[in-house]
Amino acid sequence: MKAIFLTAAALLSTVALTAPIPVKAENTTPLRRLLETRECFGCDLTGVNLKGAHLIGVDLRKANLQGANLEGANLEGADLTGANLKSANLTDTFASGTTFENANLTNANLSDANLHNAQVDGAVMIGTNLNGADGFDINLGIGGEE
């Protein structure tokens, strides 16, 4: 009787240990994803506040950052290829080595930004504010369609 009880207990504990454990689905917002993984390809970050954020080397290709506040952010080496930065505030950003190729910078504010070695080939820059921006060795081939 004792042997049957021990066998049954061993069998049940084995079944209990191998049963699937329910996992909660995480509610990961695009902003949280960006900050935790340093990438957010194609994310919708419309109007997000990233003022003063350290976004060195982040992947924001094709992200929607329309109306976002990136004032004073460090975007060194970031990839914003094809990103929508329409009406975004990039005042005083450090965007050295940043790629803005084919990005929409229509009405974006890049005043006082550091754009050394930035890649801006094919970007739409209608109404873009570059007052006081500093840059050299910029790959610039500006598009005109929005």
pTM attached to this predicted model: 0.76
In the prediction, which pLDDT does 139 show? 67
The answer to whether 62 and 81 are in contact (CB under 8 A) is: yes
Residue 132 lies in a domain: yes
What CATH code is carried by the domain that includes residue 60? Answer: 2.160.20.80
Closest CA to 99 of 64, 40, 139: 139
100: in domain: yes
103 within domain boundaries = yes
3-state secondary structure of 124: strand
List pLDDT tens digits, range 1-52. 455 544 444 444 444 444 443 433 344 699 999 989 999 999 999 999 999 9
**Domain with 89 in it:** 30-146
Q: What domain count does the chain have?
A: 1
DSSP-based three-state secondary structure for 78: coil
115 or 26, greater pLDDT: 115
What CA–CA distance (Å, rounded) separates 143 from 125?
7
- Mean pLDDT computed over 84-103: 97
Q: pLDDT at position 129, please?
A: 96
Question: Is 11 within a domain?
Answer: no
Mean pLDDT on 104-122 = 96
Q: Is residue 14 part of a domain?
A: no
